[in-house]
Amino acid sequence: MTRAVILVLVAAVAASSGLPAAAAGFTDDDGRPGERALEWLADRGVIHGCDPPENRSVCPDRALTRAEAAKILVGLAEYEGYLDEAPAVVGRFEDVDSIWGGAAAYYIDRLAAAGVVHGCDPPHNRRFCPQDTLRRGHIVKMVVRLFDLEAPDSYTSPWTDTA
């Protein structure tokens, strides 16, 4: 799944009533279906560019890592008021302190404390694998858990490969 598709999915959760005009101006998303969603998220500080320190590109075709997804989801959840308190337990995973100079641990610990993510090495779950990329099912599961979404009992899935 491309980065743009994941970001559009996340933006749709936050802006179900429509996206206002964005002020951010990434140079590599012009004319793409997710442009307004990407820039709406950037305007709110949820996402940043992929080319620091300029941050003029958003890299919409690059895969998203687990650490990047955690940062985006926590940023969006904080913006929308879904995560109010810092996690009681920090340092849950042994492999996150080296990502972004240790800054990724904050986002990952927030999601772990909220029950949104678990380790990548069951049954021990001591590792998060922050540099691994996500598949569609992974990001959807995280979004559903974080925003406490549930399909009605009457819903029938049109897909045969999601059981």
94 has a pLDDT exceeding 80: yes
Cis omega before residue 53 (within 30°)?
A: yes
What six digits make up the tokens of 62? 């690059």
32 has a pLDDT exceeding 60: yes
pLDDT at position 163: 66
pLDDT at position 151: 86
Q: Is 72 left (phi over 0), alpha (psi -120 to 50) or beta?
A: alpha
Backbone angles phi, psi at 133, to 5 degrees: -90, 160
Token pair 């904080």 is found at: 78
Q: Give the Cα separation of 150 and 159 in Å (integer).
A: 17
pLDDT at position 23: 56
pLDDT at position 92: 87
Q: Give the Cα separation of 160 and 138 in Å (integer).
A: 17
Mean pLDDT value of segment 42-66: 90
Interval 116-139: pLDDT, tens: 999 999 999 999 999 999 998 999
pTM over 0.85: no
Contact 65, 135 (CB under 8 A): no
70 has a pLDDT exceeding 90: yes
